[in-house]
Structure 1
Amino acid sequence: MSLWSDFKSSPIATISRWQDQRFLWALMAVAMAGMVLLAHSFFQNYLYMKPCEQCVYIRYSMLVMALGGIIACINPKNVILKIIAYVLAIYGAIIGIGYSVKLHGIHKAVHSDDPFAMMGMQGCSTDPSYPFGLPLHKWAPDWFLPTGDCGYDSPVVPSGVELDAIQTFFTNLYADGWYLIPSIKFADMAVCTLLAYVVALVLLLIMLISWIITTIKRKRA
């Protein structure tokens, strides 16, 4: 039977069976780690977009999810490893949603015409405080030390730097900030990361519930 036929006939058992393989976990790990690499290597180092406090927190949460995927890939059928993977992945997604929501709120306030929009707004410091007291900004400052202002995600090209043709194209494209569709300022970076976290969390919960249901049925049989 095909995968689609299996899914239609028994969706819960099929999803539970899928997560006993490495593909889904590896996909999550590669996707989350890939977004961090893209943010650091391309946007930060190549296009000179300085990361803000919430931005580096988002990097942290994505790497936590990636770590969960890597742990599951060791042996996705091992119950202990799978539980650790779920804890890390769901934790990373939940805190990532919080960071994205806060960053989006700051972004809206910064670009608002209301002069009082930023009143009481917090969450943009150059002295980060990571969960569990992790000094990530000291261990890897180029990755985890915020150097930019929240809500301002335009390229800041250092004086005297000569851009190549690709850099020029993208720095002009994102001159008014990073958007999924810059020409109409559609979906800022916080909205895009929020969507990624929500999709990942929903899929993780579906996988987890399917696994629990299947395990209970197997024990009762």
Structure 2
Amino acid sequence: MSICQDFKSSPICAISKWQDQRFLWGLMVVAMLGLVILAHSFFQNYLYMLPCEQCVYIRFSMLVMALGGLVAIINPKNVVCKIIGYVFGIYGAIIGIMYSVKLHGIHEAVHGDDPFGVQGCSTDPNFPFGLPLAEWAPDWFKPTGDCGYDAPIVPEGVELDAIQKFFTEFYADGWYLIPSAKFMDMAQCTLIAYVLSLALLVIMLGSWLYTKFCKNK
């Protein structure tokens, strides 16, 4: 029976079966690690878009989700691995939503009519569980930018190549999904990604619990 036929005949059982494979967990790992690497290597180091406090928290939350996926990939059929994957994945998505909402609020405030007095951004981050990530990996987790201001800041004397010049001009007013229209800032995009991830994880978890504990009763 094909995947589509499985889903049509019993969606809950099909979703429960899919998560016993490595694909869905691997997809979460690739997506979250890919976004962190893109933010660090391309936007931060190549385009000089400095990360703010909330930005490095968002990176942390994505790595938490990726870690959960990596644990689950070890053996998706193993209950312990799967539970750890869900705990890390759901926790990472929830705190990611919180960070994204806060960053969007700061972004709206600093770009509003009265940006003075806006609070919520520090160069001394406090990660969950007291993790000193800014000391362990400062290039990845040390805030060097201001919350809400995510336009490229090119150091003096740096000569940009053609690609750098194009993208620094493209994001001159800050990171937006569509910069020319200032449509959807970074915080809104990460918020959507977290919400979708959380919804998928909850559906997967619910399907697994249903087939494990309720179906045969």
Under TM normalisation by the shorter chain, which class is it?
Answer: over 0.9
In structure 2, how many angstroms separate the alpha carbons of the residues matched to 1:122 and 1:83?
37
Match of 1:22 in 2: 22
In structure 1, how many angstroms separate the alpha carbons of the residues matched to 2:81 and 2:136?
27
Q: What does the per-residue CA deviation read over 1:55-95, in whole Å, with 9 as the maximum and x for residues that have no partner? A: 00000000000000000000000000100110000000000
Match of 1:97 in 2: 97
For 1:29, give the aligned amino acid.
V
Please point out which of 115, 120, 124 is paired with 1:123: 120
Match of 1:181 in 2: 178
In structure 2, how many angstroms separate the alpha carbons of the residues matched to 1:219 and 1:77?
19
Is the aligned partner of 1:143 residue 2:132?
no
Is the aligned partner of 1:133 residue 2:130?
yes
The range that moved more, 1-10 or 166-175, is 1-10
In structure 1, how many angstroms separate the alpha carbons of the residues matched to 2:110 and 2:119?
12
Asked whether the 8 Å contact 1:20–1:77 carries over to 2, the reply is yes
In structure 1, how many angstroms separate the alpha carbons of the residues matched to 2:193 and 2:169?
26
Quote the offset at 1:5 in angstroms: 1.2
Quote the offset at 1:219 in angstroms: 5.8
Match of 2:75 in 1: 75
Q: What does the per-residue CA deviation read over 1:23-47, in whole Å, with 9 as the maximum and x for residues that have no partner? A: 0000000000100000000000000
Percent sequence identity over aligned pairs: 74
Quote the offset at 1:4 in angstroms: 1.1
Gaps of 5+ in 1: none
Match of 2:2 in 1: 2
In structure 2, how many angstroms separate the alpha carbons of the residues matched to 1:4 and 1:184?
39
Quote the offset at 1:118 in angstroms: 4.9
- Normalising by structure 2, we get a TM-score of 0.98
Is the aligned partner of 1:57 residue 2:54?
no
Aligned residue for 1:187, secondary structure, equals strand
In structure 2, how many angstroms separate the alpha carbons of the residues matched to 1:208 and 1:110?
39
Q: What does the per-residue CA deviation read over 1:114-157, in whole Å, with 9 as the maximum and x for residues that have no partner? A: x2x554x4320000000000000000000000000000000000
In structure 2, how many angstroms separate the alpha carbons of the residues matched to 1:37 and 1:218?
41
Count of residues in Structure 1 that have an aligned counterpart in Structure 2: 217
Asked whether the 8 Å contact 1:106–1:118 carries over to 2, the reply is no
Is the aligned partner of 1:152 residue 2:153?
no
Match of 1:11 in 2: 11
Match of 1:40 in 2: 40
Please point out which of 190, 193, 206 is paired with 2:190: 193
* Runs of 4+ off more than 6 Å: none
- Normalising by structure 1, we get a TM-score of 0.96
Aligned residue for 1:46, secondary structure, equals coil
In structure 1, how many angstroms separate the alpha carbons of the residues matched to 2:39 and 2:20?
31
In structure 1, how many angstroms separate the alpha carbons of the residues matched to 2:200 and 2:39?
24
